Amino acid sequence: MKTIKEFFSHPIIQMALVLGTITITLSYFSKRVFDEPLRNWQLGLPAFLATVFQGLAQMRKGAWYIRSWIGMLIVALSAVLVVVFNL
């Protein structure tokens, strides 16, 4: 990768940045906002779904439903659902 722009445009790097941001956000909510801390499976759900998505993306290269923005959307929606169900 020649430039930083090419580095950040790679789908795996984008997924890692989104997943890191979501993990930090869920940790903050678990520690500071909620009455009780989140369970381990709730904290790990977005990472698990990202791993499953990356595995499917490697198996089904070129499919229309295996795009990086769809994976990031799935991870973000799972984090939002964890927050909403714990309010």
**Tens digit of pLDDT per residue, the chain (87 long)?**
678 888 888 888 889 999 999 999 999 989 998 888 989 999 999 999 999 998 888 888 777 778 888 889 999 999 999 999 988
Instruction: Give residue 1's pLDDT.
Output: 63
3-class DSSP string for the chain = CCCHHHHHCCHHHHHHHHHHHHHHHHHHHHHHHCCCCCCHHHHHHHHHHHHHHHHHHHHCCCCCCCCHHHHHHHHHHHHHHHHHHCC
Instruction: Give residue 3's pLDDT.
Output: 86
Enter the pTM of the model. Answer: 0.82
Instruction: Give residue 65's pLDDT.
Output: 77
Instruction: Give residue 63's pLDDT.
Output: 78
Domain boundaries, the chain: 4-85
